Structure 1
């Protein structure tokens, strides 16, 4: 059973909301790409566990934990009757090589050795279990989820799970003994310690007046949408979606980017690029949000 499901990171939501509205630097583009790739890998692995793991085990996704002022992230935890297994999911595409205990993306870009990070997190997880007075074995794994990943000169290490090994690895996990009340209690305690959002987000600086306004396409994410009857149509990819769905998505992005701004008809009209009538926006807000104030001072929650 999944006790805590994976949620899209706040940083990634911000980047997606800013996409096409403000130009990213090369560094920001790279960071956004890695955020998206990482989330997609974790999502794929969680889905695998969801399909294969039954109620005799507990799955906890995406925890930010702290021990002795040190924070660390765990992509996924599987609690069995005798082991806490945790996984660092790597969605690396392309060719890599292991040489002299160092990792390189070919041809010659050195990357962090994932095993070093894994060992650090394993040590911190053991310290948390010690604080909780829980005596449970800890196994940690780097799971390489991308089918296009290749590691040349790969070390023989049971903590490294490569794409072709994943099916057999999952079968070995489900053969472990079922959970007891100890694991149920531990799951609740670990989730209670979750810090939530990443404590040191790297979000681009932006102001409302800097952002391009308009409806965003739900498929290609471009701001190339026009209203046709009750639908939004993208002039780039020809995606068609109900206008109320697109309007709600636009409003959610607006509230995400500017949580302190009062949600008014005029603000939403401007945010949508003037492409939808104020009268229709007002009706939508009255139907889907709670109004506060009267006449020209009304806003919505």
Structure 2
């Protein structure tokens, strides 16, 4: 049973909304790509656990703890009746090799040894258990979630779970002693100790005028949606959705990037690339949002934010 679900990091959500609307530097693009890969790997692991693991076990996704001045992040914590299992997801696409304890992405790009990070987290988790006066054995595994991952010269290592082994690994977990109320209490205690996301997100500075306008496709994330009748069609991947759904999704993206800006029909018209008529946008806003103000000062708020808006 998933006691704490994975949530998309705020940092990644913002970068997703900015992507293609501004030009990322090479460093920013690499950082965004790695952040996205990491999230997709954690999500793939959580979905595999949710599908294959018995409800007799408890799973916590994406927690960050602090021991002294040291913080560490865990992708998944799994509670059985006898041990605490740490799972570290690695979403590595492509071919890798292991040579004399050094990891390389082929042909010759050296990367950090994932086993070192795993053992560090295992040590810190044991220290946290000791601090909580819990004598619970700790196991740890690195789970390689990308289906196209290959590791050459791979040793027989009980700490590595490769893509073709994930299903069998989860099946083997189901044979362990089920968790009990004591483990659930510990799980809830660990949730209360979560210090949240990394406190220094790397988000580039941006201004409204410098962002590319247009409706973002829900499928390929491109900005090439065109209105065809009641549908919004992507010129890149040819996916389509109802116009109102596309407009609402893109309004949410604007609100995410500019939470202090007032949402007006002119803003929505411009933000969506002037594809949807202002008259149609006004009808949509009147139906789905609450109008505040009058005449040329009208703007729109969500109904659940109306009380706060009227107070200010």
State the TM bucket, normalised to the shorter chain. over 0.9
Q: Could you say if the C-alpha distance between residues 140 and 26 of structure 1 is closer, same or farther in structure 2, counting changes exceeding 3 Å?
A: same
Please report how far the alpha carbon of residue 137 of structure 1 lies from its aligned counterpart in structure 2 after TM superposition. 1.0
Misfit runs of 4+, over 4 Å:
none
Aligned counterparts, 1:59-70, within 5 A: 59-70=59-70
Moved more, 149-158 or 172-181: 149-158
Please report how far the alpha carbon of residue 80 of structure 1 lies from its aligned counterpart in structure 2 after TM superposition. 0.6
SS in 2 for 1:7: coil
- Structure 2 residue 197 is matched with structure 1 residue 192: no
- Structure 2 residue 102 is matched with structure 1 residue 102: yes
Matched with 2:128 is: 128
Residues of 2 paired with 1:247 and 1:219: CA distance? 15
Matched with 1:2 is: 2
Residues of 2 paired with 1:84 and 1:266: CA distance? 54
- Structure 2 residue 267 is matched with structure 1 residue 280: no
Matched with 1:162 is: 162
What is the TM-score with the length of structure 2 in the denominator? 0.91
Please report how far the alpha carbon of residue 106 of structure 1 lies from its aligned counterpart in structure 2 after TM superposition. 1.3
Q: Could you say if the C-alpha distance between residues 296 and 71 of structure 1 is closer, same or farther in structure 2, counting changes exceeding 3 Å?
A: farther
Moved more, 191-200 or 236-245: 191-200
- Structure 2 residue 89 is matched with structure 1 residue 89: yes
Please report how far the alpha carbon of residue 291 of structure 1 lies from its aligned counterpart in structure 2 after TM superposition. 3.7
Residues of 2 paired with 1:98 and 1:150: CA distance? 11
Matched with 2:219 is: 219
SS in 2 for 1:20: coil
What is the TM-score with the length of structure 1 in the denominator? 0.94
Matched with 1:22 is: 22
How many matched pairs? 301
User: What whole-Å deviation, never above 9, does each CA across 1:123-167 have from its counterpart, x for those lacking one?
Assistant: 221222222222211111111112322222223321111223223
Structure 1, unaligned runs of 5 or more: none
User: What whole-Å deviation, never above 9, does each CA across 1:238-262 have from its counterpart, x for those lacking one?
Assistant: 2221011101110111111112212
Matched with 1:31 is: 31
User: What whole-Å deviation, never above 9, does each CA across 1:22-74 have from its counterpart, x for those lacking one?
Assistant: 11222222222222222222111111111111221011111122221322211
Structure 2, unaligned runs of 5 or more: 303-312
